[in-house]
Amino acid sequence: MNYKETAQKVLENVGGPGNVKNVYHCATRLRFTLNASGPVRMDELKKARRVSSACWGAARKSR
């Protein structure tokens, strides 16, 4: 799987481009702000090649 395929898999598993409100990164992480958590397939996201981990951020935990 190349980087484009990995990106497509990640985008698919966070609910598609319509569910992404914002995306940003630091040196080691890719962070998404999503419109809704319902469409996210966390188990599939964690299985994607080159994804070492996936978790909900502080905003999600407080709900």
Whether 27 and 36 have beta carbons less than 8 Å apart is answered as: no
Task: Give the Cα separation of 49 and 45 in Å (integer).
Answer: 9
List the domains of the chain with CATH numbers: 3-52 (3.30.1360.60)
pLDDT at 57: 83
- pLDDT band at residue 62 under the 50/70/90 scheme: very low
Q: What is the pTM of this model?
A: 0.81
Beta strands in the chain (DSSP E): 20-25, 30-34
At residue 33's C-alpha, the angle toward residues 12 and 59, to 5°, is 125
- Paired tokens of 56: 């909900």
pLDDT at 7: 92
pLDDT per residue over 1-54, tens digit each?
788 999 999 999 999 999 999 999 988 889 999 999 999 999 999 999 899 999
Residues in Cβ contact with 6 at an 8 Å cutoff, skipping those fewer than 6 apart = 48, 49, 50, 51
